[in-house]
Amino acid sequence: MQKSELAQQIKRKKSYLCVGLDTDSSKIPSHLRGEKYPLFEFNRQIIDAVADSCVAFKPNTAFYESLGSKGWENLEKTMEYIPKDFFTIADAKRGDIGNTSTLYAQAFFEQMNFDAITVAPYMGADSVQPFLAYKDKWVILLALTSNAGSADFQQLTDQNNQKLYETVLQKSQQWGNAENMMYVVGATQASHFQQIRQLVPEHFLLVPGYGTQGGDLQAVSKYGLNSAGGLLVNSSRAIIFADQTKDFAKTAGKLAASVAAEMAEYLK
């Protein structure tokens, strides 16, 4: 999907919500566990319920990989079901030497047909370039994540008082551009958004940490939105696991609609 298409979807739906399909097999409602493809059946109902309120879906691959081949089948069926006008993100956090990254890119862009994949930048340019070789596909590079451990490395400063995540943002712009590269910036890091937007004014930011982790949507939107929308704010557990009854999808739909309504106000 091209940047202009994603921007149009945000404008049309008045939403920049991404729903994370972190489908934990131990947390799905009990009445689905006897299904042949329980994760897919859960995802199918969630997708239908939130489709009017979001522009993207982000399966975290760990929840599928952990179940072996059956998990991959559930993920494949989910990807086949998601309508083509939604932006799809493989939250796989890959990153390895070039020939391995080439195969990861084939797996997620060719076999699974995701629009984007999250990538760790620690091994440098040659670990990222194979993903950028695909037309109309995206790398979402980890920059400043929402977890407490982000302080261990990402916020370390060098002799010029520049933080490591700022170096990542600057250096990586030599590898890709605003048409094929996004950055992960956690919603719990709202105080950094103004500075980040100065470094990457045109790039999209994928923003996890909203919802269960307590990220501030108002602050993120104030400093993160740009002329194309520029944000994909992700909510996973707070939406998909809000209800354990047979009405789980209806509840998820209402919550997604509420988030989208708030986003519409920030887009005005």
Active site residue 93: yes
| In contact, 53 and 259? CB cutoff 8 Å | yes
Classify residue 94 by its DSSP letter.
E
In this structure, are residues 116 and 90 in contact, taking their beta carbons and an 8 Å threshold?
A: yes
- Identify whether the C-beta of residue 92 lies closer than 8 Å to the C-beta of residue 114: no
For residues 225 and 244, the answer to whether their CB atoms sit within 8 Å is: no
In one-letter notation, the amino acid at residue 245 is T
Interstrand relation of 17-21 and 56-59 (parallel, antiparallel or unpaired) = parallel
Distance CA 97, CA 185 (A): 24
Cβ-count burial of 257 within 10 angstroms (0-12 exposed, 13-18 middle, 19+ buried)?
A: middle
Set 14, 70, 93, 163: catalytic member = 93
Q: Which residues contact 66 (CB under 8 A, 6 or more apart)?
A: none
Give the residue numbers marked as catalytic.
Answer: 93
